Amino acid sequence: MSSEVPPKARIESLYVLKALCSFLVVVVHTQFCAKGALTPLLGIATPCFLTITGFLLYSADAQREQYKALKWARKTFLLSLACNVLYLAFYLWDGAPLSRYGVEVLGLNLLTGHKISMHLWYLTAVWQGLLLLWLLRRYAPWLIRLAPLLYIIAYILRAYGKQLFPGVDADTLFIMRANAIVTALPFLATGYLVHQYQERILMHINVIACTIGMVLLAYAEYALRQWLGGSSIYFLTTWPMVVMLMLLCCRYKPFTLPVVGYIGRAHSANIYYFHILVLIYANRLVPEYAAWQAVLVFAGTLPISCLFNTIINGYRKAANRIKACQEARAGV
């Protein structure tokens, strides 16, 4: 989605944030020597991706905004289908029994997005969340301001779901907390509101001090949860920390880092989609490097991302040429 932003309108710092979050996503699913120290930050990865999407969606032109929401929802739906087909083909080729993927499982996957490969719930939640945000913007715009409060439900389910619902199986609990309503919509709306009110907010806060404060609070909450015997990468401070990071990017829009910014712009989304493929082989081939597995998987996903981008760009060029030829013939 960020690739659609004209170069002059880009907020370069957002791409640095996306690159950081793509690495944190990989860390969540892999072994890494500093994983324990990064735990309070791991939970910002997916929320930041969602918040950036909501941020880029906002427009002063309501019709343009609603058009983008529907367009992005359609593209994400198609991307979700493509990724699920890819992972299904891979698992079957890798020896998974076909009986594992019956009609019921595939039907449920269209609703939840996690039955073939669990991390793909994100894509399903995004296109459904975009449709929900479109509905709110069209029929009840004032409700967008309340939508971020839904994160509280996701936080409670992630942090205390097992204690609150001991009789509910892990798969059902996952669906309850990782979906469009309590995860995607709150952060999409958050990004939307940050864009809408960024100038007003930045006039009244020291964004650097607030960001540092939120990070420290996250570590304090982590220490408290450890002491109480709880475990989760999501905290009450996750939402305000994401907001502060977005505002920090808005304050320092031109900030970028060589290579990192480019990875965030061109590869961060693909790293999320495809890193599980690399992880499967990393677990089989290089278990002795487990301490740095996250770095190996992150780097190993980049060639796949380059190949994917090449295919997509080639398809777009071919489609544009066909369209141009059709228009030329129609003009004649």
Top mean-pLDDT range of 68-77, 159-168, 319-328: 68-77
pLDDT digits (tens, 9 = 90+) for 193-233: 999 999 999 999 999 999 999 999 999 999 988 887 777 78
**Which residue range is the domain that position 97 belongs to?**
2-331
∠ Cα 321 326 332 (to 5°)? 125
Specify the number of domains making up the chain: 1
3-class SS letters over 214-245: HHHHHHHHHHHHHHHCCCCCCCCCHHHHHHHH
Please say if the pLDDT value at position 1 is more than 50. Answer: no
pLDDT digits (tens, 9 = 90+) for 278-294: 999 888 877 666 788 99
Alpha-carbon span 75 to 162, nearest angstrom = 35
Structural tokens at position 122 = 């994100």
pTM of the model: 0.93
Please say if the pLDDT value at position 8 is more than 70. Answer: no
